[in-house]
Amino acid sequence: MDALLAALADPARWRLVSLLAERPRSVGVLAQLAEARQPQTTKHLQTLERAGIVSSQRTGQRRIYALRPAPLRDLAAALNRLADTADQVDDARATYDRYGLSLHAERIAAEKSGWADGRSFTFLRSLAGRPELVWRHLTEATLLARWWTPDDLRVSELVFEARPGGRIVNEYRDAEDADGSDVVAGRAEGVVDDVLPGERLTYRLSPLLPDGSLAFTAHVDLGLRPTETGTDLDVHWRITDSTVDSADFIAGIEIGFGQSLDKLAAALTADAHDSVGTDTDTDDTNIGTDTRSAK
């Protein structure tokens, strides 16, 4: 397949393939129709023949080339399979396109420092599990690591000290970056402001720009309310200290944190099916060596 693609990638060879699709032709005629020199045409045809796209036979003083349809059909089938695979990830593509639109709008708006100050985002999720269990998922690092990233990312370092003044660090990488050799996808640092176990948690969190400076500060307020079926979680984000370079981060808040909350809901639903005595604190697959929490 590689040889086939390499052979077809050249515009001159693609022109020859198009001419041979109409009928077998001699080297001389192909050179005339392609408006090319015959030696160059011969070299291109030899490349196509080595790739299995054309065949040739000598007739008297002429060499006649003909197109072999089978390799092209195989290529078409492979391309159709790729297209079908892409069609099966409509949600991911839709999210990509949605983020692209948001990114464009936010970059236009980010004309000067403070451009997004006062912006707010609100999220609501009805979760399985009593507030005590939800609270653990919000404050214990081993449980936070299961959900506190958007889709396709994984936590690589996490610190959450669940006390007033406690430190927060959340670093994440691509979920397929198994050995950590790719660049860090993102890192945020912050501090816990208020803790009312099982009821309310507030903190400030700032994504870091590549130079280590703060992109903006998010003031996050999470409120828990018990319900007949579990817990309602209200989340409010408020933006301050926004820099011009914060547009890329702010464009992804609604999508990214929404995906994180969906993962939290899924984790709690899975836990609801476990026995009461299941120890969920041992799942630290995606947590770096600096991961810890303080209660």
Residue 65 near residue 27 (C-beta atoms within 8 A): yes
Query: In which domain, by residue range, is 276 found?
Result: 113-294
Do residue 158 and residue 41 come from a single domain?
no
Instruction: Name the DSSP letter for residue 212.
Output: S
Q: Decide: helix, strand or coil at residue 133.
A: helix
Give the residues of the chain that fall short of pLDDT 50: 275, 277-295
Do residue 196 and residue 242 come from a single domain?
yes
Q: Write the CATH number for 48.
A: 1.10.10.10
pTM metric for this prediction: 0.74
Q: Write the CATH number for 124.
A: 3.30.530.20
Residue 258 CA to residue 264 CA, distance in Å, equals: 10
Do residue 70 and residue 210 come from a single domain?
no
Domain assignment present for 92:
no
* Nearest by Cα to 208 from 261, 169, 151: 169
Do residue 175 and residue 278 come from a single domain?
yes
Report the number of distinct structural domains present in the chain: 2
pLDDT at site 295? 39
Do residue 138 and residue 261 come from a single domain?
yes
Amino acid identity for residue 260 in this structure: S
Instruction: Identify the burial level of 13 via C-beta atoms within 10 angstroms of its C-beta, where 0-12 means exposed, 13-18 middle and 19 or more buried.
Output: buried
Domain assignment present for 91:
no
pLDDT at site 192? 98
* Nearest by Cα to 186 from 168, 210, 205: 210
pLDDT at site 283? 44
pLDDT at site 263? 96
pLDDT at site 288? 43
pLDDT in tens, 194-232: 999 999 999 999 999 999 999 999 999 999 999 999 999
